[in-house]
Structure 1
């Protein structure tokens, strides 16, 4: 860190006495701006390739949203130790993401210019968000915000010098990257034309697939049109994105309407609470779960009414219904492959899918080294075991058909090792059992087992047995489904 901005990143508070972008986390306009920024990121060849190969944003978008929001909260925390720890965790995560795209071009998530582009899209989208909602930033505010974004890049371990020092020069940098480097990548197309149209329901709405599908059929195309209209026109031309009549007016109206939230009383909109509620399930010990249960009952009735009104033979319920009971039940090999094993949603099982599992578990448990590496190593050993047992055609990945033909062979020594390492990582105090607090950290819910019979703890053998039963696809599991199967 050699620049003045980078030097300020070591001071507390990181972003100055009046941070310009921390309040954006609870601003409804930020949801639209974040979608736009994500498309601009995905249009970069390196980022797009990394997303397609490694990200769970297609199969598990709500989980990805929750983890991203949690990470941003930590990076904006006033405590320097919290920020440093999160930056270190993110760097470890990105150090594991490298490879090559379909054209043989290498990508590396720690590439400094690429990381700078991610921060650049966030700043530019924040400025554009304010402009489109009729509240443009004055020059002084824009300059302060830009300095804080450069400090944010430095705090992440990047080089603030990768972004121009002056905000005026930034716009020339941004236009150059849009003109010369962005492409119509597969990841950008997925976000614009697949994700919105096929977005799975969050836990709150997964019992009402018809209602969710009906709402998604309306909201999906609208979000896509709004996002496309908000993108820089040079990129729209290069990528061949459609110019839909009325889309600019629709985009402007959406941003202005979202901007009206500034007139609501302070604290009425809290993004963290909204995300938490969307993740709740009936039976959770959170006090809001009772309200969620009542809402789900009403949604089921609304969904049933829509089915009655739907024309015969229509595809009004495209999503498979979840198990009738939230506890135990059996699932088909195809369901387990799609819901749990194929974390990236590409139709195959390979190392990025198991790496995504390790990443999610490490995030939930907030692991440091060396526990995080032990968990990744255990999943890597399981992948080698799966590949040897199931990859019959030798293409380096496992198809749904190959998996279904050899389900009984999954519970080998490597999977048992994964369960044991996960148990050790969860058992923070090394007591040999998982107590109620440790259980909540992993499963984000209370300990629902018979406390009188278990002595208020979850033993190693019981944990390993339950984990193996879940990971071999033999049965659904009320705690383990939210861990790895939820969208």
Structure 2
């Protein structure tokens, strides 16, 4: 069911799967419960690349050959989803642990994989399709969802899928954000974060294409009921995109490995990675191309900070980049929970360390709400935050810093060594710390974390933790 011999393992490094994942995400978001959970809790708008990386890492762990890793990841996912519940704009409850909802998420992944093969002109044989379905059933079972929430046979699955599409899916806010906002306003991945003009030009061309291809690939009954637009030539464009993506499979082995490509997107030119020198040279060439774009296009000039710069940023910029993790324009508990979730994922925390970090952030939220929520609506607006110009380094934030240090300091020696530092920051000491290449003391860590979170300064080390897209 899992590991190198599985159908999914072959799927994971297939370039067509990128289109399939986008399609599956849209179908997930069209489910009222999933859409509400995404709108209220997800960082997919403000931090889409981070969300993508975490999703790919999770899928690798779940479909890998190591059963212990799979069990740990399943437990982590269950803890994550247990924290996601509430009500949507129509006062309907949602719960990310609802087994029927979790089954639908797995169903969209399977069906999008089958559709991916079909649209690229290489439909799966019946035996391969049945094997892939069995693997996704095993995936759902590994998450602890009992049998019966996905139909037992492939024939029954298609009946279940068609019924869900025709009767339960809606044109949700999350779906509209993905199709009409995310692609048009997608922030640059870390690799291209210093090239805003080049990225804006590429996004202006690729964004509408991805949106059109995705809409054209959705089930026709849902497109009609949701009122999604019919763009002339969209079906031809969609099939061409899938066929073209399929041709990338014939590139030399290793060129399109998902893990390597994802790591490359997150590679900074000032990293200690051996590939960084090539990336730095590429950045230089692309900046010159960006200068040309600025001469012939209306894209606004966005000056970049100097390498290693820790310049001051405004309260509004800090609010958007760091505090508002969900990108909804307000600061509330889901934003701080997203911070705890990202840090827990980076450090691969188990219990009770994970809950200790969440609890520390929960106490900080109470402190922030008490100090900043002047109108009593249960959340903090950008205006409330900017007007108060608060010093955020209160006792609760200090506790967050201390708990984060303890979680990072795996061996408990009260120092963060090179390996522990790389786990949290994904880079080496000498690139981000001044005056040492050996250890990071508790006091220095807490001081730097508080300076970043309350002083609103850019930080080469800390920006990638919470501000990076």
What TM-score, normalized to structure 2?
0.97
Tell whether the 8 Å contact from 1:151 to 1:160 is kept in structure 2 after alignment: no
Q: How far apart, CA to CA, are the structure 2 residues paired with 1:81 and 1:285?
A: 31
In the TM superposition, residue 395 of structure 1 has moved relative to its aligned partner by 0.7
Q: How far apart, CA to CA, are the structure 2 residues paired with 1:15 and 1:74?
A: 10
1:276 paired residue among 255, 263, 281: 263
Q: Which residue of 2 aligns with 1:41?
A: 28
In the TM superposition, residue 103 of structure 1 has moved relative to its aligned partner by 0.4
1:159 paired residue among 146, 167, 186: 146
- SS in structure 1 opposite 2:86? strand
Matched, 1:139 2:126: yes
- How do 1:228-307 and structure 2 match up within 5 A? 228-307=215-294
Structure 1 residues 246 and 449, CA gap change in structure 2 (3 angstroms): closer
- SS in structure 2 opposite 1:93? helix
In the TM superposition, residue 141 of structure 1 has moved relative to its aligned partner by 1.1
Q: Which residue of 1 aligns with 2:419?
A: 437
* 1:346-379 Cα shifts (integer Å, max 9, x gaps): 0010000000000000000000000000000000
Tell whether the 8 Å contact from 2:114 to 2:123 is kept in structure 1 after alignment: yes
Q: How far apart, CA to CA, are the structure 2 residues paired with 1:150 and 1:82?
A: 18
User: What's the Cα RMSD here?
Assistant: 1.5
Matched, 1:317 2:306: no
Matched, 1:188 2:175: yes
- How do 1:65-464 and structure 2 match up within 5 A? 65-310=52-297, 314=298, 316-317=299-300, 320-448=302-430, 453-454=435-436, 456-464=438-446
Q: How far apart, CA to CA, are the structure 1 residues paired with 2:432 and 2:245?
A: 47
* More deviation, 397-406/84-93: 397-406
In the TM superposition, residue 308 of structure 1 has moved relative to its aligned partner by 1.7
Matched, 1:465 2:444: no
* 1:63-116 Cα shifts (integer Å, max 9, x gaps): 111111111111111111010000000000000001010000110100000000
* 1:16-59 Cα shifts (integer Å, max 9, x gaps): 88311112111110000110000000000000000000000000
Unaligned runs of at least 5 residues, structure 1: 1-13
Q: How far apart, CA to CA, are the structure 2 residues paired with 1:411 and 1:82?
A: 37
Tell whether the 8 Å contact from 2:3 to 2:9 is kept in structure 1 after alignment: no
Structure 1 residues 148 and 471, CA gap change in structure 2 (3 angstroms): same
Q: How far apart, CA to CA, are the structure 2 residues paired with 1:197 and 1:125?
A: 23
Q: How far apart, CA to CA, are the structure 1 residues paired with 2:152 and 2:435?
A: 63
Tell whether the 8 Å contact from 2:267 to 2:276 is kept in structure 1 after alignment: yes
Q: How far apart, CA to CA, are the structure 1 residues paired with 2:4 and 2:288?
A: 50
Tell whether the 8 Å contact from 1:343 to 1:353 is kept in structure 2 after alignment: yes
* More deviation, 449-458/248-257: 449-458
Q: How far apart, CA to CA, are the structure 2 residues paired with 1:273 and 1:15?
A: 21
In the TM superposition, residue 326 of structure 1 has moved relative to its aligned partner by 2.7
Structure 1 residues 238 and 451, CA gap change in structure 2 (3 angstroms): closer
In the TM superposition, residue 450 of structure 1 has moved relative to its aligned partner by 9.2
- Moved beyond 4 Å, runs of 4+: 449-455
Tell whether the 8 Å contact from 2:452 to 2:459 is kept in structure 1 after alignment: yes
Q: How far apart, CA to CA, are the structure 1 residues paired with 2:323 and 2:217?
A: 35
* More deviation, 408-417/376-385: 408-417
Q: Which residue of 2 aligns with 1:18?
A: 5
Q: How far apart, CA to CA, are the structure 1 residues paired with 2:362 and 2:253?
A: 47
In the TM superposition, residue 282 of structure 1 has moved relative to its aligned partner by 2.3
* 1:250-279 Cα shifts (integer Å, max 9, x gaps): 001101111112322332211111111111
Q: How far apart, CA to CA, are the structure 1 residues paired with 2:129 and 2:433?
A: 56
Q: How far apart, CA to CA, are the structure 2 residues paired with 1:264 and 1:449?
A: 34
* More deviation, 119-128/159-168: 159-168
In the TM superposition, residue 160 of structure 1 has moved relative to its aligned partner by 3.3
Structure 1 residues 277 and 175, CA gap change in structure 2 (3 angstroms): same
In the TM superposition, residue 15 of structure 1 has moved relative to its aligned partner by 3.2
* More deviation, 281-290/451-460: 451-460
In the TM superposition, residue 321 of structure 1 has moved relative to its aligned partner by 3.8
Q: Which residue of 2 aligns with 1:4?
A: none
Unaligned runs of at least 5 residues, structure 2: none
